[in-house]
Each structure stands twice: as C-alpha cells, then as structure tokens.
Amino acid sequence: MAGFNPESGTLTWKAEGVPISFPEGLETVNRADLSLRFSDGRGLLRGTVSMDEGTYKRDVDIDNLIALISEAGESWLNDEGEESDGIKGQWLGLDIGMETVAPLLVDIKLMRGTATGSLHLRGSAAQPVLSGRLEILEGSIEYRGHSFEVTNGSVGFFNSKRIEPNFDFEGRTEVTGFDREGQVRDYTVELLAVGVPDKFRLDLVSSPALSEGDIVSLLTWGAVGEQGFASRSGLSAAEATLLLTRELRGKLETEVERVTGFDRFVINPAAVSSTGKRTTRIQVDKKLSEKVYLTYSTPILTDEEQEVVVKYRISNTFSLVGEQRGEEDYGLDLDFQFEIP
C-alpha cells in the first residue's frame, strides 16, 4: 500500500471461514468483523478476529528452540533496536482483538497439546504491539527421549513497545535409573522454561534432588554421576549407534509419526527397566479421545517385557491409570496432581 494515503472514509468487512496461513506452520480458519476508518490522512483498523479452527505444526526440538525464538525476536527489530519497517505504515493505527473460539492444536515435536486465549493488537502497522496471553490447556514436552506432562504453560505478551513473547512452561516426568551407588531409584524430574527470546532459561530440577548435570545424565544414560559413565561400557553396538546418531534418530521418529499417525514415536536407547536392567525400548503414544491416552512400550535387543498404559483424564486434577507389564502383571492407579502456589 505504498503511497496510499486517503483523506476520509470508512470501509467495513465481515467474513467467515477465512483461511490464513501465517506465520510459518500456523494454519487457521477465522471469522472477522473489521472496519477501516480514514480521517485527516490517517487510518484506524479496528474490530475482532475469531479463530474457529487452528493448527500450529513445526519441527522444533529443545536444541533449536532458543535459536528459533531469538531469530523471531531479531526479525521484529533491527540491529539498532528500531522498527525495521521505518515509517512505512505509520499512518495506519491498529486496534484488533483476537481470540480462540476452539483450542489451537499445537504440534511442534518439542511440545504437543492445545492452547487457548485472547490477544490484542495495538500500535501502528509500522510499530505493532501485541498484548494478552495464550494458555496451554494440556500437552507434553519432549526432551531426551522422555515425555514431560505440562503442568503449567503459557505464552504472554507484556512488552508495551514491541511484540515480544514471554514463555512460561513447566513439565513433569517420572524416570527410573541408577543412583550413585548403582541402585535403581525412581525420580521425579521437572523441566522449567521461562523468559523472553533474549533472556531465555531452561532449568531442570528433581526429587530426590540432583544437580542439573546429574539430571541430564539420568535422562540421557539412565544413570546418575559416575554410574552414567560406567554404564556406557554395557551398551551394545546397536545401542551405542542409536545414542551417537541422535539427529538421525530424530528424523526417523518424525517420519514414522507421519506415516503411521502415532502422536509420538520414540526410540530410547538408555531406558532402565523396573528390574534394573538397561534396555533399548520403542515407545508409541496415541490420543484415542479427548480424555483417553494410550502408551505402548516394547524392548528391542533384550527379552524384557512389553508395557501398556491407558490413561483416562477425569479432570485437570484426577486421572485413572491402568497398566499392564507382560502377560500377568496388571495395575490400576488413581493419579492426583495439584500445585502449591
């Protein structure tokens, strides 16, 4: 719209079922009720946009996440910290409310789940400002072959001068591994990801408490401290290959998910069984309905038993979990989750 500078007038636009593919990976179907008003050579675009359907899908893992969001932040500002568009579009003001009518489906490999919320676009076309928050209703974060259930997640926009996402995610998983004495123990590991693109932090904490280095060793090798290094000598050639070709393994997992329709397909070459044996396992996850989730895990290269877990989410706090290990071991648990503010 270069050179477009009308003196006065009003345009209105109402539409339904409008497909929008922007930014990369985001596909939405929207309803819009907008008006564009001109006065004294300036314009104001205002109204509402409601997202009836939406899917955000990209191949993002924990290793390239920080680089990705940093690049996004740099794209909004140039090296001097000024708007890259200069004065272009300064004549057009913005006042647009945006909301999700149906939850947005998020599938970025790093995280899968649903999100909802409302945003407000203000400022000008040359210097837009976004405010509001998107909340993660449910989902999981994938890190080092483990699935962290999201206990709290949001992306907020609070900067009054530019578009700047503020991430706040918490995830939790249960891990069985060897402690420093070589004994099998159960650990609860929490992943915390917070901050804006230029000040982003990723922390790991556990119960029982471990250093962050020990937690990474536990997630990667299934053992803590020196046990993590000592356990490497027991790896078969096939297991070592799977560990050393992490990038190839990630591509294989993504392709199997695409072909089979599984929500998650993971090769974990450093799993530790309930009997304390190291094993390589293949795990597949499938969301059968809005409340029912199925996980199937089977070993390769060993004779360990297969595992089947069916989880029925009663509410955000309670879940009913049924498990089968082998042919004769069955279990039924009530999973209760709460947060202390």
Q: How confident is the model at residue 94 (pLDDT cuts 50, 70, 90)?
A: very high
Residue 132, phi-psi category: left (phi > 0), alpha (psi -120 to 50), beta (remainder): left
* Confidence (pTM): 0.64
In this structure, the dihedral spanned by the alpha carbons of residues 254, 259, 262 and 265, taken in order and rounded to 10 degrees, is -40
Q: Give CA separation, 95 vs 46, 83, 129, in Å.
A: 4, 19, 10
Residue 72 predicted with pLDDT over 60: no
What was the pLDDT predicted at 313? 82
Q: Which amino acid is at 183?
A: Q
What was the pLDDT predicted at 235? 45
Q: How confident is the model at residue 209 (pLDDT cuts 50, 70, 90)?
A: very high
SS3 254: helix
What was the pLDDT predicted at 219? 83
Q: Which amino acid is at 7?
A: E
What was the pLDDT predicted at 52? 93
What tens digit of pLDDT does each residue of 187-207 get? 999 999 888 877 878 889 999
Q: Phi and psi for 61 in degrees, rounded to 5?
A: -120, 180
Residue 253 predicted with pLDDT over 80: no
CA atoms within 13 A on the CB side of 213: 5
Question: What is the average pLDDT across 144-164?
Answer: 87
What was the pLDDT predicted at 6? 59
Q: What does the buried/exposed string (b/e) look like for 142-179 if buried means 16 or more CB atoms within 10 Å of the residue's CB?
A: bbbbbbbbbbebebbbeeeebbbbbbbbbbbbebebbb
What was the pLDDT predicted at 241? 45
What was the pLDDT predicted at 302? 67
- Range among 74-78, 146-150, 273-277, 296-300 with highest mean pLDDT value: 146-150
What tens digit of pLDDT does each residue of 53-69 get? 999 887 666 555 655 55
Q: How confident is the model at residue 252 (pLDDT cuts 50, 70, 90)?
A: low
What tens digit of pLDDT does each residue of 77-86 get? 444 444 444 4
Q: Residue holding tokens 């483990």?
A: 146
Cα(10)–Cα(37) distance, integer angstroms: 4
Q: How confident is the model at residue 282 (pLDDT cuts 50, 70, 90)?
A: confident
Residue 250 predicted with pLDDT over 60: no
What was the pLDDT predicted at 329? 80
Neighbours of 285 (CB within 10 A): 20
What was the pLDDT predicted at 85? 42
What was the pLDDT predicted at 278? 65
Pick the more confident residue, 261 or 252. Answer: 261
